[in-house]
Structure 1
Amino acid sequence: MRILFIHQNFPGQFKHLAPALAEAGHDCTALTLKVETATDWRGVRILPYKLPRRDAQKVHPWLIDLDTKVTRGEACWRAARALAEEGYAPDLILAHHGWGESMFLRDLWPRARMALYCELYHQAGYPHLDFDPEFASKEPEIQPLRMRLKNLGNHLHFPLAEAGISPTNFQADTFPPEFRSKITVCHDGIDTAFSAPRPGVSITLKGHAPFTRDTEIITFINRNLEPYRGYHVFMRALPDLLRARPEARVIIIGGDEVSYGGAPPKGRTWKQIFREEVADRMTAEDWRRVHFLGRIPHEDFTRVLQLSRVHVYLTYPFVLSWSLMEAMSCGAAIVASDTAPVREVITHDETGRLVDFFDRKALVREICDLATDADARARLGAAARALMIERYDLKTVCLPRQLAWVDEVMALPPVAAARADQ
């Protein structure tokens, strides 16, 4: 079977599924913006394409998102057309359609099946929007209008797709019923053999003695340090946390860019803004116990999680981070925000502790409680790891389910072919 993967940052969420399908004997190709030249990766032929240079044009601000998606969709379509002219025709298109690249591919190949990676359908109401009053919309009555347009990519894709897959129920349930009925919930998978407890782990940071499991390490990790992932809440709690835990070391991992939500004022980063906000409550010795590591290789990231005495995870009602689940797989004791996506994997005082997203005092209290209670940490960490193994293990649960889902998709009649025949 010929399978075409579409992902602007391939392999992305297909990093396990794509090589598994190639290993099973399928002819796997990927179109992506990530590479400069054609290459092979774990049995997958990866082909590049580029976005065209375009002069800035005046469009309504609400249409900028769609304009970007159409630009990407056209570029991907042109690369795909070159493949079609060479005689290539996929049996299955597996696409992360969130950036629009796969928008026109069924016009080329109506008899192929198309399955979508369904990350999110943008909701207009609370708590999906204006969850955080500090960053609330200036004109909230406009948001339903803007969100309707932001979802045009979903509405352009789903009528031409046979099926979808979503990593969590929370994400799948954001889609309207006519789309949700096509979506299978199956997580991308956690490599619980790699993300596992490691008693002898240590790391050395410049200017400090090696940190081991005997060091009181508190961790906070985001792809980027920003309000959507509660960076501002954690930083505002940091001075009180350091006072309460005078031996603690705090390791913060994350970049300076913006993944979600609004951008900071021009020339600034959210990291800078909230670091400066708490500066008058911090001493030089306090800062010496706080370690901003930026973005680090996954192996080092995992070692930090294996060291963590208490791991803190905060998020708006949004896509659940892999980092939380990898921390759970490492057996970390978790303190997390009591928000809907988190409740899918953490039950309070069973697999972690939950606190109100905005309650900094409760956050500090729960961190301190776990930092001083080794039995509670062991109990919660073991239960968290057991849950990851039982429901989210890559090799025994998620990857077999994804492979079975591909077979299920191929058993469906191609909807675009039916329309082409009419």
Structure 2
Amino acid sequence: MNILFIHQNFPGQFKNLAPALANEGHRVVALTLRVKEPLTWKGVRILPYDIKRKSGQNVHPWLVDMDTKVTRGEACYHGAMALKKAGFNPEVIIAHPGWGESLFLRDVWPEARIGLYCELYHEGGYPHVNFDPEFPSREGGAEPLRIRLKNLNNLMHFQIADAGVSPTKFQADTFPPSYRNEISVIHDGIDTDHVVAKPDVVFEVEGGPTLSRDDEVITFVNRNLEPYRGYHIFMRALPDLLKQRPNAQVLIVGGDDVSYGARPAKGKTWKQIFIDEVRDQIPDADWARVHFLGRIPYDKFIALLQVARVHVYLTYPFVLSWSLFEAMSAEGAIVASSTDPVLEAIEHDVTGRLVDFFDPAAMVREVCELLDDDASRARLGKAARAHITQNYDLKRICLPQQMQWVADLAAKTPRPIPE
């Protein structure tokens, strides 16, 4: 079977599914902006496409997002037409629609079955709007209108899609019922054979200490350090946390950019804004125990999770991070926010500890209690790993389910081109 993947940063969420399909003997091709020249990766032929038209010019600010998606959709359409002219005709197309790339692929291949990775539907009310009162929308009361317009891309995609897949129930449930019925909940999967506890792990902080499980290590991980992932809450907890734990080493992973939500004032980063807020509350000797690691390679990231005594995870009601599941797979003792997506993974005092997102004092209290309680950390860590292996294991659960989803997609009757 010919299978086409669409993802602006391929492989992205398809890093396991695409090679598995190629390994089964399918002809698997990916169109992406990530590469400049064709290449083959794990049996998958990866081809580039180019964006030639500029986006975001002379349009209403609320439509800039959609304008960008149409620009990418048009560019991907031309890349797909070139691929079709070269003789490639997929029976199945699997796309992440978030950047608009797959908008016009039904017009290129009317007979293909199209499956979408359904990451999130943007709701105009709570909790997607004004969850965090500290950061009110610049649009004020009109913010729900702007947010709803972001769903134009989702709505247009569901007119051409034959099925969807979403990694968590929380994410799938954000979609309206008529679309939700077409979405299967299958997580991307955690390689629990690789992400395991490692008692003899050593983690070297560049320019700092070499840490082991004998050290009191607290970890906090974001792709980028920003409010959507509770960075501001964590930083506000630091002065008290460092005071109460004079031997703790705090390892913070994350970049300076913005993945989600609004950007800070020009010339500033969220990272530095909240460092500046708390720095004068923290003595130099304590600040020396706080280590900002930036973004780190995956193997070092796993070592970081393995060396942690307590791992803190905070998030708005939003897409759930892989890092939480990876920390659980490594038998991490987790303190997490009791926001809706987290409740799908963490049961309080069973697979972790839960605190109110906006309560840094409660976070400090739970972290300190776990640091003082070896038995509770071990109990929670083992239960956390058991939950991941039983529900999110890549090789035994998630990847077989993904493969079956593709097979079921291939058996569907293609949706007609919208009139």
TM-score by length of structure 2 reads 0.98
Contact 2:337–2:355 (CA under 8 A) maintained in structure 1: yes
Q: Corresponding residue for 1:370? A: 370
SS in structure 2 opposite 1:377? helix
CA distance in 1 between counterparts of 2:403 and 2:56 reads 43
- Give the Cα–Cα distance (whole angstroms) in 1 for the partners of residues 379 and 55 of structure 2: 58
Matched position secondary structure for 2:254: strand
- Give the residue type in structure 2 aligned to 1:321: S
Matched with 2:355 is 355
1:56 positional shift? 5.9
How far off its partner does 1:250 sit?
A: 0.1
Give the SS at the match of 1:354: strand
Q: Could you list the per-position Cα deviations for residues 155-174 of structure 1 after superposition, in whole angstroms to 9, with x for gaps in the alignment?
A: 10101111000000000000
Q: Deviations over 1:317-371 (max 9, x none)?
A: 0000000000000000000000000000000000000000000110100000001
Amino acid at match of 1:259: S
Alpha-carbon offset, residue 208 of structure 1 = 3.6
Structure 1 range deviating more: 61-70 or 205-214: 205-214
Q: Aligned partners of 1:407 and 1:207: how far apart in 2?
A: 50
Residues 1:328 and 2:328 aligned together: yes
SS in 2 for 1:235: helix
Question: Match of 1:26?
Answer: 26
One-letter amino acid of the structure 2 residue matched with residue 71 of structure 1 = T
Partner residue, 1:92: 92
The secondary structure found in structure 2 opposite 1:254 is strand
TM alignment of 1:157-172, pairs within 5 A: 157-172=157-172
Q: 2:55 touches 2:68 (CA, 8 Å); kept in 1?
A: no
Q: CA deviation at 1:137?
A: 1.9
The C-alpha deviation readout for 1:377-401, integer Å capped at 9, x for no partner, is 0000000000000000000000000
**Offset from partner CA, 1:173-226 (integer Å, 9 cap, x none):** 000011101000000000011110001100122344421000000000000000
**Aligned equivalent of 1:44:** 44
- 1:100-119 superposed matches below 5 A: 100-119=100-119
For 1:144 and 1:231, the matched residues in 2 are separated by 25
Structure 2 partner of 1:191: 191
User: Which residue matches 1:415?
Assistant: 415
Aligned to 2:248: 248
Query: Matched residues in 2 for 1:371 and 1:305: separation?
Result: 15
- State the secondary structure of the residue aligned to 1:160: coil
Counterpart in the other structure of 1:383: 383
Q: Cα–Cα, structure 1 residues 301 and 242, in superposed 2: closer, same or farther, change >3 Å?
A: same
Uncovered stretches (5+) of structure 1, i.e. residues with no partner: none
1:194-233 matches, within 5 Å, as 194-233=194-233
d(CA) in 1 for partners of 2:313 and 2:137? 25
Structure 2 counterpart of 1:349, one-letter code: D
CA contact (8 A) 2:328 2:334 kept: yes
SS of residue matched to 1:402: helix
- Output aligned runs, 1:51-70, within 5 Å: 51-54=51-54, 57-70=57-70
**2:147 corresponds to 1:125:** no
1:152 deviates by: 0.3
Q: 2:180 is matched with which residue? A: 180
Q: How many Å separate the matches in 1 of 2:127 and 2:66?
A: 24
1:112 maps to a residue whose letter is A
Structure 2 residue matching 1:40: 3-state secondary structure: strand
Q: Deviations over 1:91-139 (max 9, x none)?
A: 0000000100000010010100000000000011111211000002244
Distance in 2 (CA, whole Å) between partners of 1:377 and 1:229 is 23
Match of 2:149 in 1: 149
Q: Compared with structure 1, are the counterparts of its residues 55 and 7 closer, same or farther at alpha carbon in structure 2 (3 Å cutoff)?
A: closer
* Cα separation, 2, equivalents of 1:254 and 1:363: 20
Partner of 1:283: 283
Note the C-alpha offset of 1:26. Answer: 0.3
Counterpart in 2 of 1:80? 80
What's the CA shift for 1:140? 4.0
Q: Distance in 2 between matches of 1:314 and 1:260?
A: 14
Look up the SS of the partner of 2:211 in the other structure.
Answer: coil
Counterpart residue type for residue 157 of structure 2: H
- Identity, % of aligned positions: 63
Secondary structure at the aligned position of 2:210 is classed as coil
| Structure 2 gaps, min length 5 | none
Deviation of residue 148 (structure 1)? 2.0
The more displaced of 147-156 and 292-301 is 147-156
The alpha-carbon distance between structure 1 residues 327 and 166, as it changes in their structure 2 partners (threshold 3 A), is same
Q: Is the 8 A contact 2:329 2:388 kept in 1?
A: yes
Secondary structure at 2:74's aligned position in 1?
helix
Alignment correspondent of 1:343: 343
Pair 1:394 & 2:397 matched: no
Cα displacement (A) at 1:55: 7.3
Residues 223-266 of structure 1, C-alpha deviation per residue, up to 9 Å, x if partnerless?
00000000000001001000000000000000000000000111
Distance 2:409 2:208 in 1: 53
Query: Measured at CA, do residues 181 and 223 of structure 1 come closer, stay the same or move farther in structure 2, by a change above 3 Å?
Result: same
Shift of 1:146: 1.0
CA distance in 2: counterparts of 1:253 and 1:232, whole angstroms: 14
1:269 aligns with 2:269: yes
Query: d(CA) in 2 for partners of 1:207 and 1:54?
Result: 43
Provide the rounded CA distance (Å) in 1 between the counterparts of 2:159 and 2:53: 30
The code of the aligned residue for 1:102 comes to S
Structural mapping, 1:2-17, within 5 Å: 2-17=2-17
Moved more, 278-287 or 109-118: 278-287
Residue pair 2:226, 2:232 contacting (<8 A) in 1 also: yes
Within 2, Cα distance between the matches of 1:360 and 1:211? 26
> How many Å separate the matches in 2 of 1:277 and 1:343?
30
**Contact kept in structure 1, 2:220 and 2:313, CA below 8 Å:** yes
> Structure 1 residues 16-25 or 141-150, which shifts more?
141-150
Q: 1:26-45, CA deviations, whole angstroms, 9 ceiling, x for partnerless residues?
A: 00000000011000000000
